[in-house]
């Protein structure tokens, strides 16, 4: 698999982020990337990072998810 294919594969990115950082920190990284992509109007990256967010959230236990009503990026 080429580097470009990995860079555009949300499942691969999510797996690496969770493996290297744990689910909680991986979600923090993803939310920061979503904010960055949104601010720079990089809509392709924004769509990739949003998909990664869903994958990471699906891997988290329900107790790990913050349901405080904060912003949902």
71 found inside a domain: no
Is residue 32 situated within a structural domain?
Answer: yes
The domain tally of the chain equals 1
In a domain, 22, yes or no: yes
pLDDT digits (tens, 9 = 90+) for 37-51: 999 999 999 999 999
pLDDT digits (tens, 9 = 90+) for 56-73: 999 886 655 555 655 655
Residues in CB range of 5: below 8 A, 6 or more apart: none
Q: Residue 73 falls within a domain, yes or no?
A: no
Helix (H, G, I), strand (E, B) or coil at 54: helix
The answer to whether residue 67 sits within a structural domain is: no
Q: Is 16 part of any domain?
A: yes
Give pTM, 2 decimals: 0.75
CA end-to-end span of the chain, whole Å? 30
């Amino acid at each position: 698999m080429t580097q470009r294919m990995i860079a555009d594969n949300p499942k691969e990115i999510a797996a690496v982020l969770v493996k290297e950082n744990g689910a909680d920190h991986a979600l923090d990284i993803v939310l920061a990337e979503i904010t960055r992509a949104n601010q720079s109007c990089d809509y392709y990256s924004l769509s990739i990072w949003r998909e990664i967010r869903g994958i990471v959230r699906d891997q988290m236990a329900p107790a790990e998810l913050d349901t405080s009503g904060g912003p949902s990026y």
